[in-house]
Amino acid sequence: MSMLAARSVDAGEARAAAGAVLEPEAGVPLADLGLVDDVSVHPGGRVRVRVHLLTRDHPSADALAEAVRAAVSKVSGVRRASVDLAPLPERARAELGDRLRAGSPPAGRTPRIYAVASGKGGVGKSTITANLAAALAAAGQRVGVLDADVWGYSVPQLFGVRRSPIAIGGVMLPVRAHGVRLMSTGFFVSEDQPVVWRGPMLHKALEQFLADVCWGELDVLLLDLPPGTGDITLSLLELVPDAALLAVTTPQAAARAVAARVVRMARDARMPVAGVVENMSAAVCAHCGDSTPLFGEGGGDALAEQAGTEVLGRVPLDLPLREAGDEGVPVVLRSPGVPSAVELTRIAATLPVARRSLLGRSLPLMVR
């Protein structure tokens, strides 16, 4: 009987089942990465699978082993599946890195790129970025977030993840959380360590985040810009010329005035403005639900009028929004029915596609 069970298991089917499992950090089937090393069938319907890990200290090793075991267990005739994990040999890692680099389209060619900027800190720009990204991903979009706020990075906290990305042969894989692909300087330093980089280092880091990160196919890339109009913002305008500005302000006049400078810079650089998001439009009482315009009114409308664009939405400040940020789960996922989450989800679903004019751009010449 045991020999019959052994013959009933097709090793090819078991390998195909294991190969179809997505590598959790790369988001690509194991078979496509060549990570299913060996599949052996034994008497009694027992199957042993050997899988290579992208790195020795793989952050999702246990989850990957369980996913492979579950997939192989569904193959006809399998009564017990076991999984062995081993690091990918160095030579194979280098070759895989070359393949990943060659097969990953440049992040700058993502169909929709939004540079989220506010001009000043404290208006909730990163919170807006994180929740728009999570809402887009939940709707089925392939989304990346590049945290360009090098000194004041908060994307690791907002997504509840803090670990170094996997590097393979000179290529980095974005850290994945809540369905979004992330890259931030916060993944490379301890939480309390300041980043004291000057202009050239900042430019090089942004270059690497765009060129040396295997983002894969993306539908939307969100760039979380730092406050102000300094080196990083200027570098990104050069590195990602097809980005559209998404301006974030509060209703307060001071926030609107500073955000207007970023809009002016974008206009001077012929960067399209996708729209304005007014954050903290009103404080929502956790007990009675009443709204109070804590920071005044009209800042979003005034900025949109200056920019020649529209207000895409007004996000209220409620308790779940703050709690979600502290817990590292975007409010659109943690509490989708609260006022802030409803408005953020609506904004994400209606983000306009803004294209940069060809006026003033260098175009390639084709000679026949």
Q: State pLDDT tens for residues 28-64.
A: 999 999 999 999 999 999 999 999 999 999 999 999 9
126 is in an annotated binding site: yes
121 is in an annotated binding site: yes
Please check whether residues 166 and 307 belong to one and the same domain. Answer: yes
Please check whether residues 175 and 239 belong to one and the same domain. Answer: yes
Number of structural domains (the chain) is 2
Per-residue pLDDT at 189 = 79
Please check whether residues 81 and 152 belong to one and the same domain. Answer: no
Q: State pLDDT tens for residues 134-172.
A: 999 999 999 999 998 887 889 999 999 999 899 998 899
Please check whether residues 167 and 72 belong to one and the same domain. Answer: no
Please check whether residues 333 and 245 belong to one and the same domain. Answer: yes
Does 102 fall in a domain? no
Please check whether residues 217 and 341 belong to one and the same domain. Answer: yes
The 3-state DSSP class for residue 292 equals strand
Does 257 fall in a domain? yes
Q: Up-side HSE of residue 7: CA atoms within 13 Å toward CB?
A: 4
Q: Flag whether pLDDT at 5 surpasses 60.
A: no
Residue with tokens 């409803």: 342
Per-residue pLDDT at 315 = 97
367 is in an annotated binding site: no
Please check whether residues 203 and 307 belong to one and the same domain. Answer: yes
Whole-model pTM: value is: 0.89
335 is in an annotated binding site: no
Nearest to 177 by CA among 309, 351, 59, 31: 59
Please check whether residues 57 and 83 belong to one and the same domain. Answer: yes
Does 35 fall in a domain? yes
Does 359 fall in a domain? no
Please check whether residues 125 and 239 belong to one and the same domain. Answer: yes
Does 98 fall in a domain? no
Q: Flag whether pLDDT at 178 surpasses 90.
A: yes
Boundaries of domain holding 37? 2-91
Q: State pLDDT tens for residues 329-340.
A: 999 999 999 999
Give 6's pLDDT tier (boundaries 50, 70, 90).
very low
Please check whether residues 124 and 72 belong to one and the same domain. Answer: no
Q: Up-side HSE of residue 86: CA atoms within 13 Å toward CB?
A: 11
The 3-state DSSP class for residue 247 equals strand
Per-residue pLDDT at 295 = 87
CATH number at residue 83: 3.30.300.130
Per-residue pLDDT at 229 = 73
155 is in an annotated binding site: no
Please check whether residues 126 and 48 belong to one and the same domain. Answer: no
**Strands 291-292 vs 273-284: parallel, antiparallel or unpaired:** antiparallel
Q: Is 192 exposed, middle or buried (0-12, 13-18, 19+ CB in 10 A)?
A: exposed
The region of weakest confidence among 190-199, 281-290, 297-306 is 190-199
Per-residue pLDDT at 234 = 77
Please check whether residues 86 and 234 belong to one and the same domain. Answer: no
Q: State pLDDT tens for residues 240-277.
A: 889 999 999 999 998 999 899 989 988 888 899 999 99
Give 358's pLDDT tier (boundaries 50, 70, 90).
low
204 is in an annotated binding site: no
CATH number at residue 243: 3.40.50.300
Does 34 fall in a domain? yes
Whether the Cβ atoms of residue 249 and residue 256 lie closer than 8 Å to each other: yes
